[in-house]
Amino acid sequence: MITLRKAGDRGHAQHGWLESWHSFSFADYHDPAHMGVGNLRVINDDRIQPGTGFPTHGHRDMEIVSYVLQGALAHQDSMGNGQAGSGKVGVIRRGDVQRMSAGSGVLHSEFNHEKDELTHFLQIWILPSERGIAPGYEQKHFDDAGKRGRLRLIASPDGADGSVTIHADAKVYAGLFDGAERAELRAGPQRPVYVHLVRGALEVNGQRLTTGDALTLRDEPLVRLAHGEAAEVLVFDLAP
């Protein structure tokens, strides 16, 4: 079964400093029909104005993955990441993937310190396999060449293929597709697959997607991506 969700059907919030599109129920947007897929709970398509950001706030028992599309995002947390003089990483840019395991509890902030450039990123929440773990942080860069014409694993439970390690039964892939470039992904039995088109246009199992569109695939043993037009896509292999 294949279910299409058009970009314009998502929840939308405009806060001035932040514009966000919510794939699933989040904050003031609530739709019982769209609470997540499998253990994927949140995809927020966020645009942060220059000189603004999220002040310090808390999370717990969630795997939070950030995927940057434009600009830079400065991260600071109660684990010491991004703190002045700590020597620990904290700024993520286009092509970077950041994983924060909130676990037993963590405080963090996210800011766009640029003077004249928007920060555009996807904020992704995945339910963890175990609650109350020690908080953790990781970030890695995945260049365009490694995603060109293929699905590059960027997050997984075991850090396979150089991906960031998430404490959840899920795998996340990123790909860039144009023209004749194609890729396939075999889905495990009873595992839902969620396809989110970040930008461009792409055909997935015969369905034409444009920027912001998404597909949920259930009982589809093969996910086929083809006929891209400047397409950037994320594909989630999720727990039932």
Query: What is the Cα Rg of the chain in Å?
Result: 17
In this predicted model, what pLDDT tens digit does every residue of 117-156 receive, in sequence order?
999 999 999 999 999 999 999 999 999 999 999 999 999 9
| Domain that residue 217 falls in | 2-238
Task: Place 90 in a pLDDT band, splitting at 50, 70 and 90.
Answer: confident
Task: Supply the pTM of this predicted model.
Answer: 0.95
CA-CA-CA-CA dihedral for 93, 94, 96, 102, to nearest 10: 60
* Integer Cα distance of 86 and 80 in angstroms: 7
- The CATH number given to whatever domain includes residue 178 is 2.60.120.10
Residue 85 has pLDDT above 60, yes or no: no
* Integer Cα distance of 177 and 203 in angstroms: 10
User: What's the number of domains the chain is made of?
Assistant: 1
Percentage of the chain lying above the pLDDT 90 cut: 93
Average pLDDT over residues 77-86: 78
Distances (CA, A) of 90 to 73, 104, 181: 8, 21, 34
Task: Place 81 in a pLDDT band, splitting at 50, 70 and 90.
Answer: confident
In this predicted model, what pLDDT tens digit does every residue of 25-79 receive, in sequence order?
999 999 999 999 999 999 999 999 999 999 999 999 999 999 999 999 999 989 9
CB 72 within 8 A of CB 91: yes
* Integer Cα distance of 145 and 52 in angstroms: 31
Instruction: Report H helices in 103-227.
Output: 144-147
CB 70 within 8 A of CB 118: yes
Q: Is 16 exposed, middle or buried (0-12, 13-18, 19+ CB in 10 A)?
A: exposed
* Partners of 201 in beta bridges: 210, 229
* Integer Cα distance of 147 and 196 in angstroms: 15
Average pLDDT over residues 78-86: 77
| Residue-level pLDDT at 188 | 86
